[in-house]
Amino acid sequence: MKDLFLIGSVPWWLIALAGLGSGALLIQQFVGLRQRLTLSQSSVLVCLRAVVYGLLIFFLFGPALVETRVLKLRRPLTVLVDSSQSMDFPATPKADSSGQPQTSRIELVREKLAGGKEPLLEKLSRDYDLRLFRFGTSLEPIAPAALPQLKAQDEGTRLLEILRSAAQQGGAQSAILLFSDGITNGIEKTLDGAAALPVPVFTVGVGESEDFIDVRLADVRAPEFAFRGREFKLDLIVQAHGLNGKTLPLYFNRGRNLITSRTLNVDADRFEQKITLAFTPRELGTHTFSVTIPQQAGEQITQNNHKEFKIDVQRDKIRVLTLSGSPSWNYRFLRTALKQDPLVELVSFVFLRTPTDSVDVPDNQLSLIPFPIDDIFLEELKNFDLVFFDDFSHRAYFNPVYLEKVRDFVRDGGGVAMLGGSRSFDSGGHAETALKEILPVELDGKGSYQTQGAVRPSLTAAGKVHPITRLHPDRATNEETWKRMPPLTTFNQVRSVKGETLLTATGDGTTPGSPLLTIGRFGKGRTLALMSDDIWRWNFIAVGNQETPQNHLKLVRQAVRWLAQEPSFEQVQLGPVPLSRPGEKVALKLRVFKDDFTPARQAAVQLRVFGSDGEPTLVPVTPDAEEGEYTGEYTPLKQGSYRVEAEASLAGKTLGRSKTTFTVAFPYGEIDDGRPNTELLKQIAAASQGEYVSIKDWNEKTLDKIAAKWETHAPSQIVEQRQTQLWSTLWPFFLILALLSVEWWMRRKWGLV
């Protein structure tokens, strides 16, 4: 289609002047012609000339033909479908009375896009350059044909990050049609302070937040580890929606045992309350704790009603109990060593008086306290990590039956050390007590206690590498250090050993190879026998020899740690396992040492992993290039807490055990809060000049609305105009020429030329 436009730039007065001039000229011509021709002949000639003048004046107006063409565009439309796990939640909060499984949010989206006689996707692909993506933690293109099989399985929703990426990919003319429940748990969670989205986003909300009933345990803050005997606190937030007026019970459990419960009175439709729970763990190890609120009527999402977490209960200090038969320098310097050790909490009992000692004052003038036999052996023993028997015999004080509790204590993982003296080993009658079973030396009642002479320590092969007797990291210097140790003057002779001897005694009153320091294991615990009550000399006399007392202090410190099974003194050491995701391979590394603490190269290692279901999985272990190091690989499939237990043995002899835990989790809280975040979808639409529409309100006109809104941002067609100026063509010239030629021919015919 072409339109005529006058686009000339000659001033109107000039054109009027030309018109007047032309009129005057025509009148003059008519008068002149009338004298020679008839009226009709004169009129014809003047008319012809008038047409020529008219055409010339018309061209002064600049006549032009404008041709208009409309081009329709196929704009890029990016359709994003949320495929995160929250899209698997029911689309409506109200339960279906028919008992049928409720339609999930993703099913609703699939139905909307791919269902019906003329699926929406087809319509969109007809009108637009359609690009279909699914998203969760990442943006993945999918074929329209694959949409019906799309599942909600992404472990997180990085909604805002994904939107920016999709907008960038689509280009400036594009728009985004987003189907989502609005739940986001990426780094960006709100639009506050964020750059505006460059393209309009038309958000289609899936799921209903009205009438949504849910109780959620949010923001649970539990420590990763706690100290035994010290209260730890646990903070969490309880959020409840649609439960105004209800009373909610909250249970705090350790394993299956209830620790405490709370009752929450919900007094608002959108209820939130911070809760602080406390517990004082008494047992070491990793314990599973949980907080639970039972499922409420009408509540669709129950995964967020229960939070489970593990806390590693550690000792803040090694609790040491010493029982000393009498005040002695050995006790004095042992006490100094233990008191100087920041890791040790010491409780000591020194028997200042024997039953045969008489006192000359009433009891109330004595500071002596009765030894709490029952309290110590029947109640408190389990709260200690190790017990020192320092020149102590039960004989005068209590029934040896109590010492059976000490045996049980070691069997369950405690440590016991017996130091020498006239009340120790055979001299103290321990051959008739349960201590005989646990000590690493054989007691037969015949061992003697010798008090004269000079007894020197000598490192055995095991003693040269064992962490207890390693007073210096350099092996040669360590051996030299032990050679320089001041001699002892007392010695308990024992028949033989059951454990590993680290030091032998040489000198007066000893037989070759007489054990001086022997260690052993009993059950899960460890024992140590030091056959002298004179090791204070390694401290004080060393000081007198202008040497350091550190060797004595270090020996005590290392013995305490070994007995208390500090991790660095374990023969089997499982390395830490980082947080991992389901499906990711986890490397479980461990180090194994022999009894003498040299790396165990050919140890038989059993590695088991326990998942949340409690079922063990045996993990094959292979030795690493590094001597004594082993690795097992395990792939956890589910989220949750996993426990690893390792046990190593060498030539049939168990070297030790170790255990650790690790957590498998996605770094998002996708199913923590199932409420659709409609507000965010509205904000996104408003901020990007798009439009929000609920999926349930989608109808025939919705697409038109979207198209109209999009039109303001990016038009759907282009109008093209071509302009042709008439005077720049030959046709006016030929027309004027033809008119003038006809006039000339007539003039000639009528005899004027």
Partner 1 sequence: MKRRTFIRLLSQSLVAAALVPRSAQATHPKEKRPLQFVFAQVRYRGGDWNPHPLAVTPLMEELMLRTSVEAPTVRHEITLTDRDLFTHPFLYLTGKYEFEPFTSEEIDNLRRFLSYGGFLLIDDALGQQGYGFDKAVRREMQKVFPGNDFKRLPSSHAALRSYYLLRRIGGVRIVHPYLEGITLGSSTPVIYCQNGAGAAWERDQLGKWTNPCTPGGEEQRRDAFHLGINLIVYAMTENYKEDLIHVPFIRRRLTR
Interface with partner 1, residue 538, by CB under 8 A: no
Q: Lay out the site mask for partner 1 across 311-350 (x = CB under 8 A, - = otherwise).
A: --------------xxxxx-xxx-xx---------xxx-x
Question: Of 278 and 366, which has the nearer Cβ to partner 1?
Answer: 366
d(CA 641, CA 216): 20
Asked whether the beta carbons of 294 and 263 are under 8 A apart, the reply is no
Q: Which of 103, 165, 292, 422 binds partner 1 (CB under 8 A)?
A: 422
Least distance to partner 1, CB of residue 508, Å: 13
Least distance to partner 1, CB of residue 529, Å: 18
Q: Which of 351, 388, 425, 668 binds partner 1 (CB under 8 A)?
A: 351
Question: Of 184 and 490, which has the nearer Cβ to partner 1?
Answer: 490
Computed on alpha carbons and rounded to an integer, the radius of gyration of the chain in Å comes to 49
Least distance to partner 1, CB of residue 351, Å: 6
Q: Which of 278, 352, 454, 579 binds partner 1 (CB under 8 A)?
A: 352
Least distance to partner 1, CB of residue 314, Å: 22
Helix or strand (DSSP H, E) at 465: helix 461-465
Least distance to partner 1, CB of residue 470, Å: 23
Reference 664, options 569, 577, 546; nearest CA is: 577
Neighbouring residues of 470: CB distance < 8 A, sequence distance ≥ 6: 478, 558
Neighbouring residues of 151: CB distance < 8 A, sequence distance ≥ 6: 83, 88, 106
Interface with partner 1, residue 683, by CB under 8 A: no
Triad 383, 385, 389: Cα angle to 5°: 110
- Write the single-letter amino acid at 137: T
Reference 152, options 216, 203, 81; nearest CA is: 81
Q: Which of 74, 123, 126, 353 binds partner 1 (CB under 8 A)?
A: 353
Least distance to partner 1, CB of residue 396, Å: 9
Interface with partner 1, residue 448, by CB under 8 A: no
Reference 243, options 204, 270, 275; nearest CA is: 270
Interface with partner 1, residue 397, by CB under 8 A: no
Q: Could you tell me the two tokens for 125?
A: 């692909």
d(CA 147, CA 86): 17
Interface with partner 1, residue 367, by CB under 8 A: yes
Least distance to partner 1, CB of residue 466, Å: 27
Asked whether the beta carbons of 182 and 84 are under 8 A apart, the reply is no
Q: If you ran DSSP here, which 8-state letter would residue 331 be given? A: H
Residue owning tokens 């694959």: 146
Question: Of 152 and 485, which has the nearer Cβ to partner 1?
Answer: 485
Interface with partner 1, residue 488, by CB under 8 A: no
Quote the longest CA-to-CA distance of the chain: 177
Question: Of 115 and 453, which has the nearer Cβ to partner 1?
Answer: 453
Burial of 380 (C-beta count, 10 Å sphere; 0-12/13-18/19+): middle
Question: Of 39 and 543, which has the nearer Cβ to partner 1?
Answer: 543
- For 729, phi and psi rounded to 5 degrees? -110, 170
- Write the single-letter amino acid at 141: P
Interface with partner 1, residue 369, by CB under 8 A: yes
Question: Of 539 and 688, which has the nearer Cβ to partner 1?
Answer: 539
Q: Could you tell me the two tokens for 470?
A: 């390693």
Q: Which of 190, 451, 654, 699 binds partner 1 (CB under 8 A)?
A: 451
d(CA 656, CA 144): 58
Stretch that binds partner 1, among 96-104, 263-271, 542-550, 719-727 (CB under 8 A): 542-550
Helix (H, G, I), strand (E, B) or coil at 201: strand
Handedness of CA 712, 714, 719, 722 (dihedral sign): positive
Interface with partner 1, residue 688, by CB under 8 A: no
Measured CA to CA in angstroms, residue 675 lies from 192, 242, 348, 668, 670 at distances of 20, 11, 59, 15, 11
Least distance to partner 1, CB of residue 335, Å: 6
d(CA 266, CA 564): 48
Q: Which of 9, 149, 247, 364 binds partner 1 (CB under 8 A)?
A: 364
Question: Of 208 and 385, which has the nearer Cβ to partner 1?
Answer: 385
Interface with partner 1, residue 544, by CB under 8 A: yes
Q: Could you tell me the two tokens for 609?
A: 């992993």
Q: Count interface residues toward partner 1 (CB under 8 A).
A: 44
Interface with partner 1, residue 522, by CB under 8 A: no
d(CA 130, CA 124): 7
Q: Could you tell me the two tokens for 14?
A: 């000039």
Question: Of 548 and 617, which has the nearer Cβ to partner 1?
Answer: 548
Question: Of 151 and 353, which has the nearer Cβ to partner 1?
Answer: 353
Query: Would you list the DSSP string of 580-634?
Result: B-TT--EEEEEEEB-TTSSB-TT-EEEEEEE-TT--EEEE-EEE-SSTTEEEEEE
Least distance to partner 1, CB of residue 559, Å: 19
First to last CA, the chain: 46
Interface with partner 1, residue 525, by CB under 8 A: no
Interface with partner 1, residue 541, by CB under 8 A: yes
Interface with partner 1, residue 452, by CB under 8 A: yes
Stretch that binds partner 1, among 115-123, 358-366, 690-698, 731-739 (CB under 8 A): 358-366
Q: Lay out the site mask for partner 1 across 251-290 (x = CB under 8 A, - = otherwise).
A: ----------------------------------------
Q: Which of 17, 172, 278, 366 binds partner 1 (CB under 8 A)?
A: 366
- For 559, phi and psi rounded to 5 degrees? -65, -40
Interface with partner 1, residue 373, by CB under 8 A: no
Interface with partner 1, residue 359, by CB under 8 A: yes
Asked whether the beta carbons of 420 and 449 are under 8 A apart, the reply is yes
Residue owning tokens 């030299």: 480
Least distance to partner 1, CB of residue 653, Å: 37
Question: Of 407 and 423, which has the nearer Cβ to partner 1?
Answer: 423
Question: Of 224 and 316, which has the nearer Cβ to partner 1?
Answer: 316
Q: Lay out the site mask for partner 1 across 221-240 (x = CB under 8 A, - = otherwise).
A: --------------------
Least distance to partner 1, CB of residue 339, Å: 8
Task: Return the number of other C-beta atoms located less than 10 Å from residue 414's C-beta.
Answer: 27
Question: To the nearest 10°, the Cα dihedral for 134, 140, 143, 146?
Answer: -60
Q: Which of 157, 518, 539, 551 binds partner 1 (CB under 8 A)?
A: 539
Bridge partners (DSSP) listed for residue 664: 580, 640
Q: If you ran DSSP here, which 8-state letter would residue 262 be given? A: E
Interface with partner 1, residue 550, by CB under 8 A: no
Interface with partner 1, residue 549, by CB under 8 A: yes
Interface with partner 1, residue 636, by CB under 8 A: no
Interface with partner 1, residue 659, by CB under 8 A: no
The residues of the shown chain that bind partner 1, judged by CB under 8 A, are 325-329, 331-333, 335-336, 346-348, 350-354, 357-361, 364-369, 421-422, 449, 451-452, 490, 533, 537, 539-541, 543-545, 549
